[in-house]
Amino acid sequence: MRSLLVFAAAGAIIGGAVPLAAATLQADSGGPYRAYLVSDRDAGPAGAEHAAGEIRSLGGRVAVEYREIGVVLAYSDQRDFGARIRSGDGIAAAGASRTATTPVAPRQEADDAAGADDAGDDGVPLVPDPHERPSWNLGMLQRRPAAAGTGSADTAPRTPAPGVLSRVTVAVLDAGVDDTHPDLRSAVDPAASADCGSGAPDSSPGAWRPDPDVIESGHGTHVAGIIGAARNGDGVTGVAPGVRIAAVRLLGPSGQYYGENLVCGFLWAAAHHVRVINDSYFADPWKYNCPSDPDQRAIITAVGRAVAYAQRSGALVVASAGNDAQDLDAGRVDERSPNDRSGNSAAPVRYLGPDCIRLPGQLPGVLDVSAVDRDGRLAAYSNWGAGRIGIAAPGGDPDGGPDQGVVSDWPGGRYASLAGTSMATAHVTGAAAIAAALHPGAGPAELRALLARAAAPVDCAGPEARCAGSAFYGSGALRIPK
What is the mean predicted confidence (pLDDT) over 430-451? 97
Together in a domain, 169 and 250? yes
Max CA distance (Å), the chain: 67
Together in a domain, 133 and 253? yes
Together in a domain, 288 and 195? yes
Together in a domain, 305 and 406? yes
Residues 319 and 234: their CA atoms lie apart, in Å, by 29
- The last residue of one of the domains, among 90, 113, 136, is 113
Distance of CA 190 to the CA centre of its chain: 19
Contact present, 6 and 402 (Cβ < 8 Å): yes
What is the mean predicted confidence (pLDDT) over 410-415? 96
- The last residue of one of the domains, among 89, 113, 137, is 113
**Dihedral angle computed from the Cα positions of residues 26, 27, 32 and 37, in that order, rounded to the nearest 10 degrees:** 0
Task: Compute CA distances 406 → 184, 384, 393, whole Å.
Answer: 17, 20, 11
Together in a domain, 73 and 86? yes
Together in a domain, 108 and 133? no
Residue 482 included in any domain: no
The DSSP result for 76-123, as a single string, is E--TTHHHHHHTSTTEEEEEES-S--BSEEEEEEEEEE-----GGGTT
Pairing of strands 91-96, 104-113: unpaired
Contact present, 391 and 455 (Cβ < 8 Å): yes
**pLDDT tens digit sequence for 329-384:** 999 999 989 999 876 677 889 999 999 999 999 999 999 999 999 999 999 999 99
Question: At residue 122, does pLDDT exceed 90?
Answer: no
Together in a domain, 241 and 363? yes
Which of 86, 58, 83, 62 minimizes the C-alpha distance to 72?
A: 62
Question: At residue 15, does pLDDT exceed 80?
Answer: no
The average confidence (pLDDT) of the chain is 87
**pLDDT tens digit sequence for 109-120:** 333 322 222 233
Between 256-265, 418-427, 465-474, the lowest mean confidence (pLDDT) is in: 465-474
Residues 7 and 26: their CA atoms lie apart, in Å, by 43
Together in a domain, 341 and 434? yes
Together in a domain, 304 and 419? yes
- 444 in helix, strand or coil? helix
Domain that holds residue 77: 20-113
Structurally, how many domains does the chain consist of?
2
Together in a domain, 32 and 159? no
Together in a domain, 274 and 233? yes
